Every structure is written in structure tokens, then in C-alpha cells.
Amino acid sequence: MRTLEVSKLLIQEDPSYFRFFCHLFENEEFCNFIVTANGKLFQYVPQKLKTLKLCETAILNNCNAIKHVTPKFLSSYSWPQILNLMLRSQAGGCLRDYPKLVALITPSIINKILVGTNHDLLGSIPENMVSDEVYSLFITANAINILKIPQSRRTKSMYLCAILNGYGEARDNFLEKDGVLLELLDPLVSYFLVNKNLNFFEKIPIRHRYQHICEYVLTTTTYGGYLRYVPENFRTLELCKLVIPKFPKDSKWIPPDLLLDLVLHYHDSLG
């Protein structure tokens, strides 16, 4: 009895605990609470409690629940009805796993996905059915959708669309994960990125680290270590002066032939 009470408290606090105790619950109302809170947990609901209504609720919360519905559900609902449930779903996408669903996809269906809340579905449509224009609209709707587009279909304009829609501001590490973008960047876009987030300075191509960008970074930053990413031919006396007073620990990145003069200049400025 205590196990049941404690487990219920844990589940109410965090529904994901249901997967450990699902065998203890044979209450349809409680299972509905679980599935409504997290559609992914539908797979742990005892088979005998998977009513038609609960299957529908699960799909509306996460399309991937279709993988765990009962045979009765699949025989009771038509494929157009199931697709309609998926279009209203909050998350998940598994259209390509079901040829009968893929066969129902039309341009109007794709448009419904674009204006809906579940963009995962577009990533699950066979790529030969989606145009570059639609993928660009997909990115415009949410910049992070660039990751849901097959890498072989990503174009320079799609990457730029993601950047201009704020993707770099939210995730400054995607340049490292997707090296192709480094070679696609234009100098102006590199400057745009650095202006949005100084962390991009070390990731943009070296050939784009122009003197004015280096000066901007070292004038704006609270981290002198950025000097290490400045091309050596731009580590001038004037530029390195920006580092010495604020970031003495980063003096190791200053060319040795300039360091003594800079320290002496700093000493004299203290009077």
C-alpha cells in the first residue's frame, strides 16, 4: 500500500516516474492523467486500459503514440482520421513509418503542418515530397527546424535563414556541429553573428576576422582570451592595449616583441 501511495506522489510530481510503476496502476482515470501530461508515456500504459479515447488523447499529445495504440484503434479509425489527429498533435513525428499516411500527404497537408504547432511532422515526411521553398518556410517558422531537415537538402540560403531568424542566438555551438556552414558564410554574415554573440568570433572563418571585427570584439568583451583568435598580423600595439589593463592574465596572447612596451606603457599611465 505504501509503495502505491509514494509512487503516486512521485508520478504527480514528475509523470516520467510512471514508467517504473505502471504495473501498479489499473485506473483508467489516472492513466489519462499520465498520458495528458506526457504523451510519450502512453507506451507504458497497460494494454487493457488503452481505450479508444485514451489512444486518441495520446496521439494528440505526441504523434509517436501511434506506435503503441491497440489493433482495435487501428481498425476503428480510418487513416485520414488518424492523420487529422496527428496534424493537431503537440509533438512527435512518424509519418514516413506509415505508407498509408504518406499516401495522404498533399501540399495543403504540408501547409497545415507549417502553420501548426507540431513541426516534427515535416521532418518525418519523405524529403522528395518537400520543396526547398517549403523547407525555408519551415525554418522561418522556427529557426531550430534547420536540424530537422535532411543534411543533404540544406542549402546556403537555408542556413542564412536560420541565422537571421535567431538560431545562433539560442545555440552558439551549431557551427561546430555542422562544419559545412563555416565554408558557406559570407563576411557580412560572420559580422552579423559576432555582433549578436561574441562567442561566434572563435568559430567564424579566420579569413573573416577583419581588423574592425577584432577591434569590436576586444572593445566590447569582458574576456581578454579572445585575443588568441585574432590573426597575428592584426595583433598590433594599439589592439593589444585593449587587453593589458583589463585582462592581464591574457597577456600570453600578446606578441613577445610588444609585451614589454605595453607593460611599461601601462605602468607609466598609472603615474
Contacts of 125 (CB under 8 A, 6+ apart): 95, 96, 102, 105, 110, 113
Q: Look at residue 259 in the predicted model and tell me its pLDDT.
A: 79
Asked whether the beta carbons of 86 and 64 are under 8 A apart, the reply is: no
Q: In Å, how far are 13, 41, 61, 259 from 83, measured between CA atoms? A: 32, 21, 14, 68
Q: Look at residue 171 in the predicted model and tell me its pLDDT.
A: 46
Residue 40 pLDDT class (50, 70, 90 cuts) = confident
Least-confidence region, from 17-26, 94-103, 183-192, 212-221: 17-26
